[in-house]
Amino acid sequence: MKCKRCNNQDLRYFFLLKKEYVCRKCLMFNVGLLDKELYSYSEDLDAEYQLGFDLTKEQKVLSKKVVENIMAKKDVLIFAACGSGKTEIILKTIKYGLDNKLKVGIAIPRRQVVLQLSERLSEYFSKIKIVSVCEGYTKELFADLIICTTHQLHNYPNYFDILIIDEPDAFPFADNPLLQALAKNSVKGNTVYMTATPTKQMKQLETLTLFKRYHGHDLLVPKVVIAFKPILLLKMYKWITLNKKVLLFVPTIALAQKLSKILGYPAIHSKSDAKDEIINQFEQGEFNVLVTTTIMERGITIEGVNICVLYADHPVFNQASLIQIAGRVGRKASAPNGFGIFLCENKSEKVDLCIAELEMMNA
């Protein structure tokens, strides 16, 4: 016996419910052995997209190569620097899929990025139906283009001809066998992976690289400061008062809440209420500093933002997360530069590797 959704074969996890075997391992997703009948949204559609700008030469080359790999029935990795325009690179692939009556989806580990990307793609593809499927948005599951969290892939067994997984190395998808099995089982065609921080396993795929940002400016390489804790706290306070629109990253929720009270600025983390409202207020400049955990390390684009990482040598931060945090700065052509600092109590190999990787991308 094998669960079609999560590949579980351990008989201890199966039980009989109303003459149907159900898998306890993925029961939280309300799935079992029997597939539902699934439908795409429409047969006749116009998948043309409109951009208010031209892609760079490098973006155009990658766009074409991704489609060529999909046509050749190959999975592909887009290894591209933060802010290099990965979303724009896949527009041609989405159009190719829809033009050829293929079922296309984009899966992302985090809910906030699903909603942000859906809004953005709706502007590009004004003549197709796009649906967001994530916490709070699960009443409608099907459309011409489906954008969902990786958790929601349980709704689409053997469904997608093309599935684009953005940031597959991010929590909670990374190192989660159940979510990875749901993703694998949702694809009957091929997968496109996109990230600035791929794992060694991902690099075994056909890999397309783009380290140059679309506006031509370099990635931020943060300044690294190593000092005792009291000195780091003083430097942090001085730094956030001298710079505008600062994302202050800290390793734990407890520290985020404590600093929020001391500094008088809002904090955002996995347990925060009204996350979207807090982010919007920060974007609009209603406050100058947002204290955050790694929840804001990926997929978020905020114009003119700067970053400070307190205790960058803490085990919660790894090389990939530090690269992603640095990548929040300078993403917009209207504000292509910014500032960043890593505050450490001890010399750290992962911090050194992060700096070396960013410098390699800028070379």
Dihedral sign for Cα atoms in the order 171, 247, 209, 130: positive
The confidence score (pLDDT) of residue 33 equals 39
Tokens (6 digits) for 28: 């939280």
Q: What pLDDT shows up at residue 35?
A: 42
Q: Which residues are CB-neighbours of 222 under 8 A, at least 6 positions away?
A: 307, 309, 326, 340, 341, 342, 355
Q: Which residues contact residue 261 at a Cβ distance below 8 angstroms, ignoring those fewer than 6 apart?
A: none
What are the structural domains of the chain? 1-34 (no CATH), 40-210 (3.40.50.300), 223-362 (3.40.50.300)
**How distant is the alpha carbon of residue 43 from its chain centre?**
30
Are 326 and 265 within 8 A, CB to CB? no
- At residue 171, the pLDDT reads 85
Query: For the whole model, what pTM was predicted?
Result: 0.82
pLDDT attached to residue 335: 93
pLDDT in tens, the chain (363 residues): 777 767 778 777 777 766 777 776 766 565 443 344 445 556 678 999 999 889 999 999 999 999 999 999 999 999 999 989 999 999 999 999 999 999 999 999 988 889 989 999 999 999 999 999 998 888 888 999 999 999 999 889 899 999 999 999 988 898 899 899 999 999 999 999 999 999 999 999 999 999 999 898 999 999 999 999 999 999 999 999 999 999 999 999 999 999 999 999 999 998 888 888 999 999 999 999 999 999 999 878 899 999 999 999 999 999 999 999 999 999 998 999 999 999 999 999 999 999 999 999 998
